Amino acid sequence: MPLEVLTVREREVAEAVARAATDREVARHLGISPRTAQKHLQQIYRKLDIASRAELIVRLSRS
C-alpha cells in the first residue's frame, strides 16, 4: 500500500522511526507526547498492514 494513505504527521513519525528514533525521541522532535507518537505509530501500522518498526523501515526504504 502506498505511503500516500498516511497523514502528514504520520509520515513525519514514520520518517523519524526510519532514522531509528525511539517513541520518546520522535515525540521530543515533533513536540508531541510519547503516547501520541505511539498512537500515530499504531495508525501507521494499521494503514500499511504491518506489525513492526522493522517492517516500517523496509517499507520506507522501498518507496
Per-block mean pLDDT, blocks of 10 residues, the chain (63 long): 87 93 94 96 96 92 83
Q: Which residue, among 62, 51, 53, has the nearest Cα to 16 in the 3D structure? A: 53
Q: Is domain 3-62 annotated with CATH 1.10.760.10? A: no
Report the pLDDT value the prediction gives residue 43, as an integer from 0 to 100: 97
Report the pLDDT value the prediction gives residue 15, as an integer from 0 to 100: 93
**How far is Cα 21 from Cα 29, in angstroms, rounded to an integer?**
9
Report the pLDDT value the prediction gives residue 20, as an integer from 0 to 100: 87
Q: For residue 7, which phi and psi values (nearest 5 degrees)?
A: -75, 170
Report the pLDDT value the prediction gives residue 1, as an integer from 0 to 100: 59
Kindly calculate the radius of gyration of the chain based on its CA atoms and give it in whole angstroms.
Answer: 10
Report the pLDDT value the prediction gives residue 62, as an integer from 0 to 100: 85
Residues near 16 by Cβ (< 8 Å), separated by ≥ 6?
A: 25, 26, 29, 30
How much is the pTM? Answer: 0.89
